[in-house]
Structure 1
Amino acid sequence: MRAVKNLLVLYTGGTIGMLETPQGLAPAGGFEARMRAHFDQQADAPALNWRLRELTPLLDSANMQQANWLAMRDAIVEAVERDGHDGVLLLHGTDTLAYSAAALSFLLLGLPVPVLLTGSMLPAGAPDSDAWGNLGGALQLMATGIENGVQLYFHGQLLHGARTSKLRSEAFDAFASLPRQRDGQRVDAVPARLDYRQPRHTVNLAVLPVFPGLQVSHLRALLGSGVQGLLLECYGSGTGPSDDQDLLDALHDAREGGVLIAAISQCPQGAVHFDTYAAGSRLRDTGLVSGGGMTREAALGKMFALLGAGLDVQAAEYWFALDLCGERAQ
């Protein structure tokens, strides 16, 4: 843990910097001037040097895509390796904040500086906004000392980047890291193929919740769209409609065809244990890999980082089953 001396504030848009328009709140530029004006008036403002970079186009995070994750990753690596920044604070909208935190956790494996994400539920300048509290708290953490890795700061909580979900749509304490069983084997060192310097590309991924009435035609239509990875959100400990042989065959055929298929639990505090029920064992035998107790955000971001690095399905399954940054193990 060390104090950050030369911080980059990477502003991607989001509610924190939005201004009112005739169509409603929308991302707005010029946030550095507003931020400096605010903290210049605070006697106890965090003491560290920082500069702000706007990552264009500024986004409502509801519009966040994989290409934006890659642009954030590139900007962070450039800030560290070319410009000498020893920490990055990323300002982001709350709708997909947990998804970006998880994706960056895997895209920035081995990065030798801390990356902290924050945002707000109300715009800076709005009455009773949480924006300056979240921003000031994040700056204070950077100034006093923070561990390397990707983390999220919100409403006074410092949260693991690959364990956090947005649970509330309006409350200030919108984010939490719920207790989920984590028993994955931690890797001793990040492989060079997954290091933060490794270029990535976009990947065709899909998430499919299991539900009563799921038909094999639904699954085959999704697989027919050319997905490279499918995240299956199963019931409880990893069960699903195991008496539907056509559906099981579709999963098996997709895996044999090179699609990475992983399973997580739909339960907010769940974990996959295929062997608990025969229904789970039959799903596993089609070629599913267990996501253990990972969140949807973590599992999706991990699949993206692995397949986006060009790994084949066997290598991706191997690394998916291990703990790379604390997403599967304590």
Structure 2
Amino acid sequence: MSAVNNLFVLYTGGTIGMLQTPEGLVPAGGFEARMREHLARHEVPAPRFVFQEMLPLLDSANMSQREWLAMREQIVAAVDQGGHDGVLLLHGTDTLAYSAAALSFLLLGLGVPVVLTGAMLPAGADGSDAWPNLCGALAALEAGIEPGVHLFFNGELMHGARVSKLRSDAFDAFTVLPRRREGERAAELPSALAYRQPRQPVNLAVLPLFPGVQASHVRALLASGVRGLLLECYGSGTGPSGDADLLAALREAHAGGVVLAAISQCPQGHVEFGVYAAGSQLRDAGLVSAGGMTREAALGKLFTLLGAGLDQAEAQRWLALDLCGEMAER
């Protein structure tokens, strides 16, 4: 762990740099000049940095796998070709935790720290958290942090593959909730998951279980060509085990090559199939436990595994192992 001296700043849009229009807040360019002016005027210590905008700038509600791949490509180029020893990514808050999780897996093995941050209020608004978040992230990078993906918000540096957004209108919107993280660590990473390896978009779906969920819902998702389905189960990984048609739909999906992953709907939950028969039957239908992973982490991990071209068996194997601290303490 060493101080960052040659920083790459990637601005993707988001509230932090938005400007007011008659239609509401919209992403706006020119944030580099505003950032440099603020740092100079307030004499904020910061490493030397190169600033780049990712065009088109986004409201992060429009984030997709395409943008995740574009961010990954620009970060890899900045480190491998540009010689940067740290990355600061400015991003909207709606999908900030999703992007932090996805990049945690897309950048496995990258030997520099990547810190994401954003703001609940634009930089020009009274009482905004934009500058405290940005300057706090810069201070953390300058002081030195471990390689890997992190999220800095409201004075706290958080693990990129564990963080979630819990509040929609408060400065302490993000947190890492206590979850049981007792998964088995991968002894080594497969070459297919190294950060330099190309990735492809993947058709994925998330389905929360609820009283009244039907097999037809699962089959409709399968008909769309999904390759991975993240099932948000009750409690410790249970579901309607008395619905034979639903279990049959899951077995059909698994037999067809779809990777089925299970997480808990509980904010501080984890999946442990063997506790209840209702969980064991989901396991027997082909679901893989994602342990204590968050929705954001499980989705980002599925995307990375399948986007790397792994087949069903290999994806299931690595899904069940901890790769970067998402399901085991490190």
Please give the range of the TM-score, normalised by the shorter of the 2 chains.
over 0.9
Report the Cα distance in structure 2 between the residues aligned to 1:111 and 1:228, rounded to whole angstroms. 27
1:46 CA drift (Å): 1.8
CA distance in 1, matches of 2:75, 2:277: 46
Aligned partners of 2:122 and 2:34: how far apart in 1?
12
Match of 2:34 in 1: 34
Does 2:233 align with 1:222? no
Structure 1: 4+ residue segments shifted above 4 A: none
Distance 1:189 1:83 in 2: 27
Q: Provide Cα deviations, 1:265-287, integer angstroms capped at 9, x if missing partner.
A: 00000000101000000111001
Q: Distance in 1 between matches of 2:8 and 2:122?
A: 21
CA distance in structure 2 between the aligned counterparts of 1:59 and 1:48, rounded to whole angstroms = 26
Mapping for residues 61-76 of structure 1, pairs under 5 Å: 61-76=60-75
Whole-Å Cα distance in 2 between the matches of residues 173 and 316 of structure 1? 35
CA distance in 1, matches of 2:138, 2:224: 44
Distance in 1, matches of 2:191 and 2:217, equals: 38
1:219 is aligned with what amino acid?
A: V
Matching residue of 1:135: 134
Structure 1 partner of 2:317: 318
Give the deviation of 1:185 after TM superposition. 1.0
Structure 1 window deviating more from structure 2 (167-176 vs 214-223): it is 214-223
The aligned residue for residue 241 of structure 2 is 242
1:282 to 2:281 alignment = yes
Name structure 1 gaps, 5 residues minimum: none
Shift of 1:191: 1.7
Deviation of 1:176 (Å): 0.3
Distance, in Å, in 2 between the alignment partners of 1:76 and 1:231 is 28
Give me the identity figure in percent.
71
Q: In 2, Cα distance between the equivalents of 1:188 and 1:49?
A: 36
Aligned-pair Cα RMSD in Å: 0.6
The structural deviation recorded for 1:224 is 1.0
Per the alignment, residue 21 of structure 2 pairs with: 21
Runs of 5+ in structure 2 lacking a partner? none
Following the alignment from structure 2 to structure 1, what is the Cα–Cα distance between the partners of residues 45 and 190? 36
Aligned to 2:153: 154
Q: CA deviation at 1:142?
A: 0.8
Q: CA deviation at 1:47?
A: 3.3
Q: How does 1:79-228 map to 2 (within 5 A)?
A: 79-228=78-227
- Give the counterpart letter for 1:36 in structure 2: R
Query: What SS does the aligned partner of 1:180 have?
Result: coil
| TM-score when normalising by structure 1 | 0.99
Pair 1:50 & 2:42 matched: no
What residue is the counterpart of 1:4 in the other structure?
A: 4
Task: Tell me the amino acid that sits aligned with residue 56 of structure 2.
Answer: P
Structure 2: how far apart are the matches of 1:42 and 1:34? 12
Amino acid across the alignment from 1:17: G
CA distance in 2, matches of 1:182, 1:47: 35
**1:255 match: secondary structure:** helix
Give how far 1:60 is off.
Answer: 0.2
> Partners in 2 of 1:165 and 1:47 — Cα distance?
27
CA distance in 1 between counterparts of 2:203 and 2:152 reads: 30
Offset, 1:186:
1.1
Residue type at the aligned position of 1:239:
T
Post-superposition Cα deviations, 1:137-170, rounded to whole Å, max 9, x if no partner, equal: 0001111111100000000010000000000000
Between Structure 1 and Structure 2, how many residues are aligned? 329
Deviation at 1:82, TM superposition (A): 0.7
CA-CA distance at 1:223 after TM superposition: 1.2
Taking the aligned partners of 1:315 and 1:185, their CA distance within structure 2 comes to 16
The one-letter amino acid of 1:279's match is A
What is the deviation of 1:189?
Answer: 2.4
CA distance in 2, matches of 1:160, 1:26: 29
State the TM-score, normalized to the length of structure 2: 0.99
Most deviating of 215-224 and 235-244: 215-224
Query: How far apart are the structure 1 equivalents of 2:292 and 2:224?
Result: 28
User: Which amino acid in structure 1 is aligned with residue 40 of structure 2?
Assistant: D
- The letter of the residue matching 1:83 is G
Letter matched to residue 209 of structure 2? V
